[in-house]
A and B are shown apart, each in its own frame.
Chain A
Amino acid sequence: MKKQLLTLRVNARSHEIAIEANALLLDALRRELDLTGSKRGCDDSSCGACTVLVDGTPMLSCTMLAASCEGQEITTVEGVSEHGALAAIQKAYGDWGGAQCGFCTPGFMMTVKHLLATNPDPTEEDVKAALSSNLCRCTGYSQMYEAIKAAIEAEQKGMAGAR
Chain B
Amino acid sequence: MTDFSIIGKPIAMIDAAGKTTGTGKYTDDLSVPGMLIGKILHSPHPHARIKRVDATRAEQLDGVIAVVTGHDAPNPYGILPVGHDEHALALDKVRYVGDNVACVAAIDEATAEKALELIDVEYEVLPAYFDPEESMKAERDLIHDNKPHNIEKDYHHAFGDPDKGFASADHIAEARFIANEVTHAAMEPHSTLASFELDSQTGQLGRLTIWSSTQVPYYLQHKLSLVLEMPMSQIRVIKPLVGGGFGGKSEVIPLEIIAAVAARKAKAPVKITYTREEVFWAHRGRPRTIIDLKTGVTNDGRITAVKARVVQDGGGYCSYGVVTILYSGALLGALYDIPNIQYYGYRVLTNKPACGAMRGHGTVNVRFAFESQLDELALKIKMDPAEIRRRNLLQPPCVTVNGLRVQSYGLPECIEKVVEGSAWLNRKGNLPRGRGLGIACSHYVSGAANSIIRSDMPHSTVNIKIDRDGGVVIYTGASEIGQGSDTMTAQIAAEVLGCSLGRVRVIAADTDLTPIDIGSYSSRVTFMAGNATLRAAQEVKKLIAAAAAKKMDCAQEELLFRDDKVVIKGQSDKSVRPTRADATPTVSGRVENQILRGSLQQKRKDDDIPKETMSFEEAVVAAIDFHGALTGTGSYAPPPEARGGKHKGGGVGPSPAYSYSAQVAEVSVDEDTGEVAVHKVWAAHDCGRALNPVSVEGQIIGSVWMGMGQALTEEMIWKDGLLMNPGLLEYRSPSSVESPEVVPIIVESIDPEGPFGAKECSEGSLAATIPAIANAIYDAVGIRLHESPFTPERVLAALRAKKNAKALNLTEGVDPTAPQRFREHGGALCFKGKGPQRNALDLVPAQS
Contacts and interface: CB of A to CB of B under 8 A. Distances in A.
Physical interaction between A and B: yes
Interface of A: 30, 35-44, 46-47, 49, 76-78, 80-81, 86, 89-91, 93-97, 99-106, 109, 127-129, 131-132, 134-144
B22 A77 contact: yes
Contacts of B20: 77, 80, 86, 89-91, 93-94, 99, 102, 105-106, 109
Interface of B: 10, 12-13, 15-26, 28-29, 184-189, 241-246, 273, 275-277, 481-484, 582, 694-695, 697-698, 701-702, 704-706, 727-729, 733, 735-737, 739, 741-742
A40 B28 contact: yes
Contacts of A142: 701, 705, 739, 741-742
Given A86-B20, A138-B698, 6 more contacts: A77-B22, A78-B21, A93-B16, A101-B188, A128-B736, A136-B187
A129 B481 CA distance: 28
26 contacts: A30-B29, A78-B21, A90-B17, A90-B20, A91-B12, A95-B16, A95-B694, A97-B694, A97-B697, A99-B20, A101-B245, A102-B19, A102-B20, A102-B482, A106-B22, A128-B737, A131-B736, A135-B733, A137-B733, A138-B702, A140-B702, A140-B706, A141-B705, A142-B705, A142-B741, A143-B701
What's the dominant secondary structure at chain A's contact region?
A: loop
A123 B12 CA distance: 25
A100 B483 contact: yes
B187 A132 contact: no
B728 A46 contact: yes
A131 B736 CA distance: 6
A128 B28 CA distance: 30
B728 A47 contact: yes
Given A94-B17, A139-B698, A101 B276 contact: no
Contact of A77 (B21, B25, B698): B21
Given A138-B244, A138-B702, A143-B701, A44 B727 contact: yes
Q: Which of A38, A39, A93, A103 has the most CB of B within 10 A?
A: A103
A41 B188 contact: yes
Given A49-B187, A101-B186, A140 B701 contact: yes
A126 to B, nearest CB: 11
A103 B243 contact: yes
A99 B19 contact: yes
Contacts of A80: 20-22
A16 to B, nearest CB: 21
Contact of B18 (A44, A102, A137, A143): A102
Q: Which of B19, B23, B742 has the most CB of A within 10 A?
A: B19
B130 to A, nearest CB: 26
Contacts of B727: 42, 44, 46
A95 B12 contact: yes
Contacts of A144: 736
Q: Which of A30, A100, A132, A136 has the most CB of B within 10 A?
A: A100
Q: Which of A46, A76, A86 has the most CB of B within 10 A?
A: A46
Contacts of B26: 36, 39, 103
Contacts of B484: 100
Contacts of A106: 20, 22
